[in-house]
């Protein structure tokens, strides 16, 4: 019984922490332009990648170090930072980075900024980044797929993105119903970062783009009404 009570207490603490982070989100989450500009103004910017080590190893912002609230050496990593200088944090979206930025501010850091849209926004806008492998798809190949098919639905995301995983079953339903009338292309950050960077128009994961006859019919940031919008567009062909 004592153990159960302790677990309940921990759960309550975590819940209120998350609520607190959400309430403070607007105070430290900044646009890509602001984030990038502030980094450029620093001689040795303190950049933190708040994703997991596997994600970081595949790609990250140049000069970033990798840790988050769950890291075993979290306290030591924080102690190594300069509280008097700004800290720039990003994750896959803006979840873990917001939590980390808030924690730094509570610990007395002068400035801590979370990047709106996370790594998707940085790479998807064409900003410089490190990558450990060559993209499987080039921009030229991407354009050829668009040109060679009457209708193409492109799903751009990451296997580490929770919302991106929810798109997959919807895509399967769309694929089953429309068959050869619709080409579906799935582009993930882990295997195709360069084509995402070359598009220079991706600001969040997932992003869904429907092309017809080489032209964009719609571009959705998120999966809301995806199937409905695809069905409607193809019905009007």
List, by residue number, the catalytic residues.
161, 164
Find how far residue 45's CA is from the centre of its chain.
Answer: 21
Give me 35's structure tokens: 């984030």
Helix orientation angle between 162-178 and 226-235, rounded to the nearest 10 degrees: 30
Residue closest to 137 by CA, chosen among 201, 192, 209: 192
**Residue 1, Cβ density class (10 Å: 0-12 exposed, 13-18 middle, ≥19 buried):** exposed
Distances (CA, A) of 124 to 46, 52, 85, 120, 206: 22, 20, 27, 5, 11
Taking the C-alpha atoms of residue 101 and residue 90, their distance in angstroms, rounded to an integer, is: 9
């Amino acid at each position: 019984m004592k153990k159960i009570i302790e677990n309940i207490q921990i759960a309550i603490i975590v819940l209120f922490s998350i609520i607190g982070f959400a309430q403070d989100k607007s105070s430290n989450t900044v646009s890509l332009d602001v984030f990038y500009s502030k980094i450029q103004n620093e001689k040795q910017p303190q950049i933190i990648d708040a994703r997991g080590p596997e994600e970081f190893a595949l790609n990250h912002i140049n000069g970033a170090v990798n840790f988050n609230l769950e890291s075993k050496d979290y306290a030591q990593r924080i102690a190594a930072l300069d509280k008097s200088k700004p800290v720039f944090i990003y994750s896959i979206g803006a979840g873990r980075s917001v939590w980390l930025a808030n924690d730094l501010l509570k610990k007395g850091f002068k400035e801590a900024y979370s990047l709106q849209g996370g790594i998707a926004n940085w790479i998807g806008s064409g900003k410089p980044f490190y990558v450990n492998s060559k993209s499987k798809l080039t921009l030229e190949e991407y354009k050829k797929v668009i040109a060679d098919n009457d209708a193409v639905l492109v799903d751009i995301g990451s296997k580490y993105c929770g919302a991106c995983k929810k798109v997959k079953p919807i895509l399967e339903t769309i694929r089953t119903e429309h068959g050869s009338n619709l080409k579906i292309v799935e582009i993930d950050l882990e295997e195709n970062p360069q084509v995402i960077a070359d598009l220079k128009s991706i600001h969040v994961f997932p992003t869904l783009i429907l092309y017809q006859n080489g032209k964009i019919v719609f571009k959705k940031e998120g999966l809301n009404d995806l199937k409905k919008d695809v069905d409607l567009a193809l019905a009007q062909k």
